Structure 1
């Protein structure tokens, strides 16, 4: 399969941290990203070339295949950031910052930060450089999502130091030890916070992926 040439055996992630893990990601999220590359909301010429001739239904098949893979994660890299930076990152990830109108990462990405099925990805098990690149791409408009693009709105409220703090803390966190704990949650956690609306493409199969 062409995907594994860059994303690693069984979609475990490429060795350089540039190509992210596919295995175990929510199917709806993977499907949306394939559409985004094909339709110009994300920019990487090789990905666009690969998915451009593929139908929506086949993209959904690819997403469903990788989503079903339940594989262990490697341990996270030791954090290089200072303790104060990591503390700020933990605060933003777990509680957000009301003064900056920043919701906590856990409010959308799940209490364990392993994602929420079917459309919201987990944030653990990803290299800091990859996380920085994605948030930077949202800030510059190089990465977009189906409207309303909630992540573009959130990242626009974040300063460079807060992005660095958040990604440093996230990249240093281990995945839950159990296979069940690593799976995306079935529903968003309960919260009183007002969360931004997020867009998503409908499944080509006429049902949730």
Structure 2
């Protein structure tokens, strides 16, 4: 499989560890269910990004699942975090949203779904640690506008529409500045803990 996924590592880095390009995220260690869902979305065109749509267009679902399981099993080192450039007050707002959310606006904490170490939750919620701020900001914006979608109920769309532009920037900057945890594994499944119903986490 290592030889067969060389096309993937051209953009996503050796072993899927990510690169210095902001828009090619780390995929190593993310839950296989999440990776499989994203590959299927690119395959079907429900998630649109030509450099991903074309390579998977003619692959079978079984092959997509193999690819997902391969990258999910890898634990390469994380790249150094991205130093935050926002003012301290903005970063503190980002930290608050990630760790505590905002109950007055029905915004749950990121860690409630993405794991206590921000490494994701089995089977279908991705880790956020190791992602670049520009990538996080771009994805939250796409969730908010509906350009990026998930199985109903689409919890990320609901959450993203409640965030302001400065809050998206703050969350992205704070997450991007976090170092790698000692344990890279996603949290075990715990649907009872999820603050919102989520179609990607049945």
Question: Do the two structures share a fold, i.e. TM-score over 0.5?
Answer: yes
> Is the contact between residue 82 and residue 133 of structure 2 (CA under 8 Å) also seen in structure 1?
no
Residues 55-204 of structure 1 mapped to structure 2, 5 A cutoff: 55-176=60-181, 178=182, 181-188=183-190, 191=193, 195-200=195-200
* Aligned counterparts of 2:184 and 2:70: Cα–Cα separation in 1: 17
> Is the contact between residue 17 and residue 79 of structure 2 (CA under 8 Å) also seen in structure 1?
no
Q: Secondary structure at the match of 2:111?
A: helix
Q: After the TM superposition, which parts of structure 1 deviate over 6 Å for at least 4 consecutive aligned residues?
A: none
> Is the contact between residue 125 and residue 200 of structure 2 (CA under 8 Å) also seen in structure 1?
no
CA RMSD of aligned residues (A): 1.7
* Aligned counterparts of 2:199 and 2:90: Cα–Cα separation in 1: 31
State the Cα distance separating 1:6 from its structure 2 match: 1.2
State the Cα distance separating 1:11 from its structure 2 match: 1.1
Could you state the TM-score of these two structures normalised by the residue count of structure 1? Answer: 0.89
Counterpart of 1:10 in structure 2 is 15
State the Cα distance separating 1:23 from its structure 2 match: 1.1
State the Cα distance separating 1:201 from its structure 2 match: 8.6
State the Cα distance separating 1:9 from its structure 2 match: 1.5
* Aligned counterparts of 1:104 and 1:200: Cα–Cα separation in 2: 17
Kindly tell me: are residues 157 and 201 of structure 1, through their superposed partners in 2, closer, same or farther at Cα, counting changes over 3 Å? closer
* Aligned counterparts of 1:83 and 1:52: Cα–Cα separation in 2: 44
* Aligned counterparts of 2:201 and 2:61: Cα–Cα separation in 1: 10
Where does the alignment leave 5 or more consecutive residues of structure 2 unmatched? 1-5
* Aligned counterparts of 1:15 and 1:94: Cα–Cα separation in 2: 26
Q: Output one character per residue of 1:168-203: Cα deviation in whole Å (capped at 9) or x when no partner.
A: 111111111x3xx11101134975xx722111399x
| Aligned pairs, number | 197
* Aligned counterparts of 1:92 and 1:44: Cα–Cα separation in 2: 28
